[in-house]
């Protein structure tokens, strides 16, 4: 858990439930369905399905996004404790999603491009993961292109 004291929305009064409702509303506006909130191993995970057409074929992709794990200090002296700040975490998640969807709405990127790293994918060996994790594993093992020597 990271200390959210100096991050945006540290003192938000917007409830976690309201942020979730606003996230659900944003996703539905862009045609998402199957919106699911899951707690797994002390982390909140958002999953949703988005359908699109590619080369005349309708496809449905599942996306998975982790909600930030943010905390704050409460109390004073010996009573000072570090506790989870879900209100802040969900507010940050809302604005991250809103920014991504604004990019879609303005034509900067497609829905699939903006959430590409969050697409859930099943590999031929049966393992599954997010595209971002799979690609990052491969990128780490490659030699970077030196743009300055070209």
pLDDT digits (tens, 9 = 90+) for 70-126: 998 888 888 888 888 999 999 999 999 999 999 999 999 998 899 888 888 887 888
Tally of domains within the chain: 1
pLDDT value of residue 150: 55
Structure tokens at 37: 């909130």
pLDDT for 137 beyond 80: no
The predicted model scores a pTM of 0.82
Domain of residue 140: give its range.
2-149
Q: What is the dihedral of CA 58, 62, 114, 126, to 10 degrees?
A: -100
8-29 mean pLDDT: 95
State how far the Cα of 8 lies from the Cα of 55, in Å rounded to an integer. Answer: 41
């Amino acid at each position: 858990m990271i200390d959210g004291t100096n991050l945006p929305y540290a003192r938000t009064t917007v409830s976690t439930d309201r942020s979730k409702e606003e996230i659900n509303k944003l996703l539905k506006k862009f045609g998402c369905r199957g919106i699911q909130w899951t707690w797994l191993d002390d982390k909140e995970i958002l999953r949703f399905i988005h359908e699109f057409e590619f080369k005349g074929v309708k496809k449905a992709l599942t996306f998975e996004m982790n909600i930030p794990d943010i905390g704050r200090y409460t109390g004073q002296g010996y009573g000072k404790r570090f506790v989870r700040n879900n209100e802040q975490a969900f507010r940050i998640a809302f604005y991250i999603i809103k920014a991504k969807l604004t990019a879609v709405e303005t034509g900067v990127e497609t829905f699939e491009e903006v959430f590409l790293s969050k697409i859930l994918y099943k590999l031929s060996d049966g393992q599954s993961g997010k595209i971002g994790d799979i690609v990052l594993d491969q990128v780490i093992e490659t030699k970077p292109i030196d743009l300055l020597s070209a």
